[in-house]
Amino acid sequence: MVLLLALALGVALGLLTDIAIPAAVLTYVGVAVLAAFDSVLGGIRASLEHTFDDKVFAFGFLTNTLLAALIVFIGDRIGVRELYLAAVVAFGIRLFDNLGIVRRLLFQRKGWE
Amino acid sequence: MGSPAPRARQTLTHLREESIRAIVASERAVERRFNEARLVASLAVAMLLVGFLLVAQWRGNASFSATLDNQSDQNLAILIEDLTTQNSALRNDVMRLEVRILDAERAGKDRGEVLNDAAKELAGIRAIAGLDPVSGPGVAVALSDPERVLLPQDFVALINELRAGGAEAIGINGVRVVASSGISGTDGVMRVGDTSLSANYELLAIGDAANLEQSLALPGGLKATLSTFPGVTVVIDQREAIALPAAGTS
């Protein structure tokens, strides 16, 4: 609940501040957002499994986003523009994995399974 | 007095253990709460960031795909089509409105003004046709060609360039050049109409002096081109007053 509220707050903040990502770094930030979302889902999963550690989470969040952007950047530099696809696929798969586990854990907790 | 003492001690020990257990339990609870708060807080901060970036990205992407570079060819064709239609509609509007302005002006003017305008127009046309001698500011182009390498087309180019630069009247070596003037040359001797010219040519052009000079002297322009021919020198100067005779007189 608090998390959804935070997401809404972030969206509102974005709408209010009227910031648009410049076209030059659009792909980097896009992949970084994906990585960040994956990290958050991973954090929720860890909290449901009672293995959550905020230091690990914060570090993972930062490194995931930065690494994702870095991979795209390097791909651009060395002429493998499609490298961003690798990041998108990797994070996409992880995202759905985490989402599935979170869903299962939540169902277990509610006793629906 | 001997028997109740150990029992009391037992009770006390029991109480102490109980309270210790309670303290530990409450500490654990506090710790769990604290951990939970940290968990939710860090996740919330991360969510906030994700939300913010999401919106910024969304907006950036929207403005990115709005630029022409990222439109498909079909879209661009449609855009161009639309603009062309709009343009022709606007052009029609402009024409219609111009006609109305002309009508209004004609209606608003009295006869004297109409006559005045007509006289002015006539003077302009007479200047272009070379019917009257004219004078005014302009440029003088001194062109010397001791080796006689210039061809008639060089003069035609010069005259065209001067006309394009806004010259109202042009003369070569005192001969007025008009629309019907012909320039010919055999063995390097130039003729304008029937008049032969000496090798030191002087072109005079009446009009906006600065514009005229610029039209010849701009980089890569005629002055630069002609100066590369052997022996040819081109000198342009602006003059306050230039007088040209009527065409057909020299």
pLDDT in tens, A34-79: 888 888 888 888 888 888 787 888 888 899 889 888 888 888 888 8
Residue B237: C-alpha distances to residues A106, B126, B216 (Å): 92, 26, 11
Give the closest-approach CA distance of B110 to chain A in angstroms: 60
Write out residues 42-81 of B within 8 Å (CB-CB) of A.
42-57, 59-64, 67
Give the whole-angstrom CA distance, residue B144 versus residue B198: 10
**Residue B180 CB neighbours (<10 A):** 10
- pLDDT at residue B2 above 60? no
* Contact criterion met (CB < 8 Å) for B44 and A15: no
ipTM score above 0.85 = no
Q: At B89, give phi and psi (nearest 5°).
A: -60, -45
Tens digits of residue pLDDT in A10-43: 888 777 887 777 777 778 888 888 888 888 888 8
Interchain contact, A8 vs B67, CB within 8 Å? no
Task: Give the domain ranges of chain A.
Answer: 22-110
Contact A30 B43 (CB under 8 A): no
Q: Rounded distance, CA B172 to CA B139, Å?
A: 12
Among B39, B44, B64, whose Cβ lies nearest the Cβ of A26? Answer: B64
Task: Quickly name the fold that domain B134-244 has.
Answer: Alpha-Beta Plaits (3.30.70)
Q: Is B189 on the interface with A (CB under 8 A)?
A: no
Rg (CA), chain B: 46
Would an 8 Å CB–CB cutoff place A3 in contact with chain B? yes
Average pLDDT over residues B180-206: 80
- Which residue of A13, A29, A52 is in closest CB contact with B39? A52
pLDDT per residue over B14-47, tens digit each?
Answer: 999 999 999 999 888 888 777 777 778 888 888 8
What residues contact A82, with CB distance under 8 A and at least 6 apart? Answer: A75
The CA distances from residue A36 to A17, A29, B238, B241, in Å, are 20, 10, 71, 78
Q: For an interface test with A, which of B48, B64, B69, B70 has the most A Cβ atoms less than 10 Å from its Cβ? A: B48
Q: Comparing C-alpha atoms, which of B219, B216, B239 is closest to residue B157?
A: B216
Chain B environment of A2 (Cβ under 8 Å): 40, 44
pLDDT single digits (tens) B160-169:
888 888 888 8
d(CA B15, CA B32): 25
Model confidence at B250, pLDDT cuts 50, 70, 90, reads very low
DSSP alpha helices (H): ranges in chain B? 4-66, 73-108, 111-129, 152-164, 209-217, 222-227
Nearest-Cα residue of chain B relative to residue A45: B43
- Rounded Cα distance between B190 and B183, Å, is 7
**CB contact B37 to A (< 8 Å):** no
Verify whether the Cβ–Cβ distance A2 to B42 is below 8 Å: no
